[in-house]
Amino acid sequence: MELLTGGFYEPILAILPDADKHGQIQRLTQYLAREFGGRARGMWLAERVWEPHLPKALREAGAEYVLVDDSHFALAGRDPETLGGYYVTEEQGHTLAVFPISQRLRYVIPFAEVDKTLAYLDARRAGVTALTVVDDGEKFGAWPGTYDHVYRDGWLDRFFDRLAATPWVRMTTFAHVVDTVAASGRLYLPTA
């Protein structure tokens, strides 16, 4: 498990002045360090709102990487079904790693059958260093019908059992990927 920083009050950082961006990120980063004893290196970007001017401000606030939807990458001309690992972007010499969150994985987890989810992962694993799935916790019990599906009907237990029993699936953290895997390329994301 890896804790991510972000804006303390979940603000849309792109519309804040840089000093406020820094304050929001530093406040959450300090809170996480105080409450959990670790340094958050990566960042959750509220609502995944991206502007090309963010890398400099995010790096200055201490973020090494951020997560955004793969649709952002599609707007930059990349096919979401070929994305993997992370990419490097920059602004004024300040580099930032960017992980593409797989929309397809967000849709199959937890709504597709476990076998179909693993089949999709199996089909995608060739030549891909990592796939990213990050999603709303509400899908795991708060949305209508999801509590029964995920817990009472056992989807989550079956899913984790299958992940643990599948030798080619390796769960990891963003920090580990950044530390051990080369970037998949350089990319400049448009406003999204």
The residues carrying an active-site annotation are: 47, 136
Reduce the DSSP state of residue 106 to 3 states and report it.
helix
Q: Give the Cα separation of 2 and 173 in Å (integer).
A: 6
Task: Collect all residues with Cβ–Cβ distance below 8 Å to 126 and sequence separation of at least 6.
Answer: none
Phi, psi of 46 (to 5 degrees): -50, 130
Two tokens, residue 105: 């994985």
Distances, alpha carbon 147 to alpha carbons 134, 142, 153, in Å: 19, 7, 9
Task: Collect all residues with Cβ–Cβ distance below 8 Å to 131 and sequence separation of at least 6.
Answer: 84, 102, 105, 121, 124, 125
Q: Give the Cα separation of 125 and 63 in Å (integer).
A: 28
Q: What is the dihedral of CA 22, 27, 28, 30, to 10 degrees?
A: 110
